[in-house]
Amino acid sequence: MIEAEIDMKKAILALEDGRTFDCRCFTGSGEAGGEAVFNTSMTGYQEVLTDPSYRGQVVTMTYPLIGNYGVNPEDVESDRIQVSAFVVREYQYFPSNYRSKSSLSDYLKAQYIMGIDGLDTRALTLHLRNSGAMRVFISTEDSDPLSCVEKARLLPSMIGQDLASVVSSRLPYRWMHSGILPIENIETALTSSVWKHRGNLRSVVAFDFGIKTNILRCLDQAGCEVIVVPAATSADTIRSMAPDGIFLSNGPGDPEPLDYAIQTIRELLGFRPIFGICLGIQLLARAMGGKTYKLKFGHRGANQPVKNLKTGRIEITSQNHGFAVDLTTLNPNDAEITHINLNDQTLEGFRHRTLPVFAVQYHPEASPGPHDAQYLFTEFNRLMADQ
């Protein structure tokens, strides 16, 4: 009876290396594909679903019971679901939480996103850890495993994809007190007159490579007036706006093809204090002459240990990235390594030795996740105050 109400459909999940899983779709019929990845968070599935950094990916949650607290309009990180499909061990049909406004199933179906359960997500996660993130195809229509594997192999690789331009806002907008406000006279060029609270709040231009809502909340709470601009905004436009600081956001895909953003950041080095996170640190590193590479299976979850090399403190962090900066390619005369991942010793943060520029690979806005790294927003504010 429950399965009939949820509109359960038998499905196949096929990986490009030939591994397949029988499963069920709890959102009805359909097909979907993308890069198969996993997230180790125990809560926060709605924030995961709406994080633009997951664009083009099929996300598997390692925590087995998903859907138990439903969904609500406050816990979104963008204006839509960004994942290509959502895979869980066991979908919870009846949410119970005072904030819940609807079920996860209804939320997914309303945006035509497949929800998959009834498979061994532990086995799938171990396979991805051993073999690496890879392309996956899911179908309720095609019952031939070999055919589904071939369809997975036809999907585009994450390497070389500029997905930031896909998820970025098309127009600049103002963020004030947890809300988006349109910019008046948007047809005219952005100038320093765009700021309404100059002198009382720190004026920050935030590049939208896939920016999350809670980042904007954190900047707002740190005493910043924020204008969000599209990913392809030019350095000349930023100079015309004359902000106190520049923020480089998170985002999906491979940083290497984002030549337009890398060149813009290079031109802005030394102009104003810069703070970057996630994709932002990768673009900043490339602007400073460094290189990036694809991790085997990435870091995705709210429990990633990072060591702050300046304080010796261990921070538990929220992360979501499949690419990383090759720390051996950063010029030691320019870049000082500040944070290292304790699981695999990959780069998690650096700052410029002479310019007011710093960045981290993880998510200090912690949505979902711990709050160990929120001090970085205060640090950004201090850098702007010192200029």
As annotated, the active-site residues are: 278, 363, 365
Is 149 within 8 Å of 14 (Cβ atoms)?
yes
Is 206 within 8 Å of 184 (Cβ atoms)?
no
Q: Give the position of tokens 């591994």.
A: 19
- Checking phi first, is residue 44 left (phi over 0); if not, alpha (psi -120 to 50) or beta? left
Question: Edge-to-edge, what's the strand order for the sheet holding 173-175?
Answer: 180-181, 173-175, 224-230, 202-208, 245-248, 274-277, 357-360, 347-352, 335-341, 291-308, 314-326
**Coil/strand/helix, residue 329:** helix
- Around 135, how many Cα atoms within 13 Å sit in the side-chain half-sphere? 16
Backbone angles phi, psi at 97, to 5 degrees: -165, 140
Q: How far apart are CA 291 and CA 282, in angstroms?
A: 8
From the list 328, 330, 248, 237, the residue with the least C-alpha distance to 283 is 248
DSSP state of 189: P
Q: Which residues pair with 336 in a beta bridge?
A: 351
Q: Which residues pair with 198 in a beta bridge?
A: 201
Residue-wise DSSP of 123-147: HHHHHHHHH-SEEEEEESS---HHH
Q: Using H for helix, E for strand and C for coil, what is the string for 274-327?
A: EEEECHHHHHHHHHCCCEEEEEEEEEEEEEEEEEECCCCCEEEEEEEEEEEEEH
How far from the centroid of its chain's Cα atoms is residue 347's Cα?
17
Q: Residue type at 157?
A: S
Burial 5-24 (b: 16+ CB within 10 A, else e): ebebbebbbbbbeebbbebb
